[in-house]
Structure 1
Amino acid sequence: MDFMLEEELIDLMTFCLQNFDSIEISEKHKRITEIGHELYSDGGVDALENFFFVLKNRITQEIEKDPSPMRCLWNGLTSEWQY
């Protein structure tokens, strides 16, 4: 399951970074947030940190864009996650 969620997040975030003016952005952001809920429910804040570390490295290497601004989509899941 984790691998599938990782790949979906890579696709979603890559789309958002490459198509920032698309009308689909809010839909993609909503799904990123939903996946964050799943990750947090399954593994807590450690799962969020681990996933985002991998996402950032892969996306930065693949398209040379930083997905860090999308970390805030997971704000509100826990008081420990504030970006």
Structure 2
Amino acid sequence: MDFMLEEELIDLMTFCLQNPESSEVPEKHKRISEIGKELYDDGGVDALENFFFVLKNRIMEEIEKDPSSMRSLWNGLTDEWHY
């Protein structure tokens, strides 16, 4: 399950970074937020941190763009996560 969510997040974030003007970005951001909630519910802040670390490294390596701005999509899940 985690592998599938990781791959979905990679696809969503990559799309958003490569197509920032697309009308699909808000929908993709919504799904990224939903997955963040699933991850948090399953593993807490550690799960969010671990996932984002992997996502950032893969995306930076694959398309040389930094997804860090999307960390804020998971704000509000817990007081411990504020970007």
TM-score (norm 2): 1.00
CA drift of 1:56 comes to 0.2
In angstroms, what is the RMSD of aligned CA positions? 0.1
Deviating above 6 A after TM superposition, structure 1's stretches of 4 or more consecutive aligned residues are: none
Structure 1 match to 2:68: 68
Tell me the amino acid that sits aligned with residue 35 of structure 1: I
Aligned residues: 83
Q: Distance in 2 between matches of 1:43 and 1:68?
A: 20
Q: Which amino acid aligns with 1:45?
A: V
Whichever residue aligns with residue 62 of structure 2, its letter is E
**Alignment partners' CA distance in 2, 1:66 and 1:20:** 13
Give secondary structure in 2 for the equivalent of 1:29. Answer: helix
C-alpha displacement at 1:12, in angstroms?
A: 0.1
Listed as ranges, the matches of 1:1-83 within 5 Å are: 1-83=1-83
Q: Structure 1 unaligned runs (5+)?
A: none
- In the superposition, the TM-score normalised over structure 1's length comes to 1.00
Q: Which amino acid aligns with 1:38?
A: E
